[in-house]
């Protein structure tokens, strides 16, 4: 099959990649860029394990053709903190016990990251709606919601400190 050349920014790095027209964004991330933090669950956009942020929007990377992401700016879980410097959302997930098997966690954290950009900060209902595209079969969601609330509180505190 014909190969196409595309260019996109993944986790602040410019990438030039050759792909087939029917390659999915998730395959580009996992197989070509070896960013395996993005998980594949259902492959139908229903579980949210493959969630990434594409040009400012939450998307299911299993339902985006790689050529559709030509020119896009992508953030995957690898672009959020590192093992040495965790993102406050990641710290909050660990502290509240919001991670069990961990398979949904990358997608959940990206959904949370997107929620934290909302202004004013989301209330509980809005948090629930914000993560409604991400399935978790372990936690029962309560601890995930607590983790997101905790990171919102911390973020607003650090913001007000910065403002001073």
Partner 1 sequence: MNRQNSFEKDFPGYIAPQKIEEVLEILSKYGKEIKIIAGGTDLLVQYYDRLYEVSAWLDLKNMEELKEIKIDQNQIEIGAMATHTQLESSADIKRYYPVLSQAASDIGSPQIRNRGTIGGNIVNASPAGDLLPALIAYRAQFKLVSHKEESIVSAEDFFLGPKKTILKPEQLLSKIIIPIPEQNTYSSWIKIGKRKALIVATVSLALVLSMAEDNKIIKEVKVCLGSVAPTPFEIMEIREKMIGRQFNQLDFNELGQLVEDRISPIDDIRGTKEYRQDVTKNIMINALKKIYETWRQSR
Site for partner 1, rule CB under 8 A = 1-4, 20-22, 24, 43-46, 48, 51, 57-60, 62-65, 67-68, 70, 111, 114, 129-130, 132-134
- Cα–Cα distance for residue pair 154/150, rounded to 1 Å: 6
Nearer to partner 1 among residue 68 and residue 86 (C-beta): 68
How far apart are CB 31 and partner 1 at their closest, in Å? 15
Nearer to partner 1 among residue 110 and residue 159 (C-beta): 110
How far apart are CB 67 and partner 1 at their closest, in Å? 5
Nearer to partner 1 among residue 5 and residue 13 (C-beta): 5
Q: Of 145, 163, 130, 133, which is closest to residue 41 (Cα–Cα)?
A: 133
How far apart are CB 116 and partner 1 at their closest, in Å? 14
Nearer to partner 1 among residue 15 and residue 86 (C-beta): 15
How far apart are CB 106 and partner 1 at their closest, in Å? 13
Nearer to partner 1 among residue 46 and residue 95 (C-beta): 46
Q: Of 38, 154, 157, which is closest to residue 91 (Cα–Cα)?
A: 154
- Cα–Cα distance for residue pair 15/17, rounded to 1 Å: 6
Q: Of 117, 112, 106, 127, which is closest to residue 50 (Cα–Cα)?
A: 106
> Any idea what the Cα angle at residue 91 is, between residues 97 and 11, rounded to 5°?
125
How far apart are CB 44 and partner 1 at their closest, in Å? 5
Question: For residue 162, what is the enclosing H or E element?
Answer: helix 142-163
């Amino acid at each position: 099959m014909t190969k196409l050349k595309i260019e996109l920014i993944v986790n602040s790095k410019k990438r030039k990649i050759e792909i087939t027209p029917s390659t999915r964004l998730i395959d580009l991330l996992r197989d070509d860029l070896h960013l395996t933090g993005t998980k594949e669950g259902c492959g139908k956009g229903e579980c949210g394990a493959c969630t990434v942020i594409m040009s400012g929007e939450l998307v299911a990377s299993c339902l985006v053709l790689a050529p559709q992401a030509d020119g896009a700016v992508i953030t995957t879980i690898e672009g959020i903190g590192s093992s040495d410097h965790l993102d406050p959302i990641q710290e909050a997930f660990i502290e509240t016990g919001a991670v069990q098997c961990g398979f949904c966690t990358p997608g959940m954290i990206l959904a949370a990251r997107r929620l934290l950009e909302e202004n004013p900060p989301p209330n509980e209902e809005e948090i629930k709606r914000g993560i409604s595209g991400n399935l978790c079969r372990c936690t029962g969601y309560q601890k995930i919601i607590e983790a997101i609330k905790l990171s919102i509180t911390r973020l607003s505190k650090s913001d007000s400190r910065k403002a001073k």
